[in-house]
Chains A and B, each alone.
Chain A
Amino acid sequence: MKSSVYRYIALFIVAILFQASIVRYLEIFSWKPDLVLIILIMFSIQSGPSLGSTAGFFAGLLTDLISGHFLGLGALSKTIAGFISGIWAKYFPEKTQFIITLAIGGFLHNIIYFFLLTIGIEFSWRSLVFVYTVPNLFYTTLVGLFINFLIRSWLKED
């Protein structure tokens, strides 16, 4: 367990740095995958809501610091995503656990994130969901499946 936490810390650092630098090259229209969210969901599934929300808060905070967005925006949305994923993951079958948790946690994350981001701007809920939340989530899920496939066995080595 201990070594897997270290691996997750390393993954979070790499994901945050990549998110701030390389991910912009993967941008399609204005949609891009959230690598930190992917790692957070994987971590929350394995570690539960306490560590999930803690990791979400700090990872979100670092992302906010680096991204230049409102400080606390990512921290808040990722805290909730980590918490919810940690709680709900155990209710899903193992085979589909990651994808469903990522979909739910990611949806919640994106809704909170984009809602807070667009406060004070005239913005319809429909745009919020269908222009920002869902396409970003879809992209993140696709990339998440790929990353999960790549590093799942590495994370389970102990």
Chain B
Amino acid sequence: MKLNPFLVLVRKPLFLLVVYIILSIVLLRMNPEKSLQGLRYGALQVVEVFAKIRFQIAVWKDYQKEVEILKRENFKLQTTLQKTRDIFLENERLKLLLNFKEENQLELIPSKIIGVGTELGVRSFVLDIGEEDGAQKNMPVLTADGLVGKIVLTTPKQSICQILKDHNSLVSARLQNSREIGVVSWDGEPWLNLLYISKDVPVNIGEDVVTSGLSKIYPPFLRIGQVSEINENEYDLFKEIRIKPAVNFNSLEEVIVIHLIENDLTNQVDLEE
């Protein structure tokens, strides 16, 4: 078989070397030519695409890092915001307490609830004020919304507040419109009961129930709640009135204790003791 002499030549390494060297030199001499600039531009376009992809990857990685940083930052800010909200709400509550104090001209002792009482048979809160702060047994405890209960036990540093939602709690109360007097008690339900209101007394849903002032413990006009339901039974002498408490006992944080100045009213009915 006769081989193509060109192919034989092409396979000679030295021949190829010479050809490539000559081509390279020709190209080197042609460098300023415009036709080569176009070729170069085309090649650079290819590289540019690659560079763009690489750039996009780098940008994407930067974004990922940024997202991580922002997530952490967001978490910190959320925490700070939550703290700020708490402080704001506390501030609002304290403002209300302050307004209450100014409006009522009473000697008030601010206090924080630091726990739930563990005494058997008494539903209570533990307050962070005690005898050293001026707290005494039977002092009324309230918030700006209304009456919470009364102090039943004191120690030098802390005291126990019996709340209205306790089976043993009884408060002399008055319907705001009719001025009728009854007794507020609790029987384990979400609402309070207003007892001893005669059937012939007109009572409206939404009517405020306040302390009567006929007690040594509670001063008059402290809000207890609003009438939420009225039932009548033909065999009973009195109406069955349910009261929605003015205070949400589940979310209490700060309260105030009223330091009452003793007076000589001897005709006060002490229903609570």
Residues of A bordering B, CB below 8 Å: 17, 20-22, 48-50, 53-54, 56-57, 60-62, 64-66, 68, 70-73, 75-76, 79-80, 83, 86-87, 116
CA distance A79 to B24 in the complex (A): 9
List 28 interface pairs A-B (beta carbons < 8 Å), by A numbering.
A17-B47, A17-B50, A21-B54, A48-B13, A49-B13, A49-B16, A50-B11, A54-B20, A57-B20, A68-B40, A68-B44, A70-B28, A70-B31, A71-B27, A71-B30, A71-B36, A71-B40, A72-B23, A72-B28, A73-B24, A73-B28, A75-B24, A75-B27, A76-B21, A79-B20, A79-B24, A80-B17, A87-B13
Q: Which residue on A lies nearest to B51, using beta carbons?
A: A21
How large, as a class, is the contact surface on chain B? 20 to 34
Interchain CB contact under 8 A, B17 and A83: yes
Q: Which residue on A lies nearest to B43, using beta carbons?
A: A65
CA distance A12 to B263 in the complex (A): 104
Give the top 8 A-B pairs by smallest Cβ distance, nearest first.
A72-B27, A76-B24, A65-B43, A49-B13, A72-B28, A57-B20, A79-B20, A72-B24
The 0/1 profile, CB within 8 Å of A marked 1, for residues 27-59 of chain B is 110110000100110011011001100100000
Q: Which residue on B lies nearest to A86, using beta carbons?
A: B13
Chain A interface secondary structure, helix, strand, loop or mixed? Answer: helix
Answer yes or no: B26 CB below 8 A from chain A CBs.
yes
Q: Which residue on A lies nearest to B50, using beta carbons?
A: A17
* Residues 47-73 of B at the A interface (beta carbon under 8 Å): 47, 50-51, 54
CA distance A73 to B40 in the complex (A): 14
CA distance A83 to B13 in the complex (A): 8
CB-defined contacts of B40 to chain A, threshold 8 Å: 65, 68, 71
Interchain CB contact under 8 A, B17 and A76: no
CB-defined contacts of A76 to chain B, threshold 8 Å: 20-21, 24-25, 28
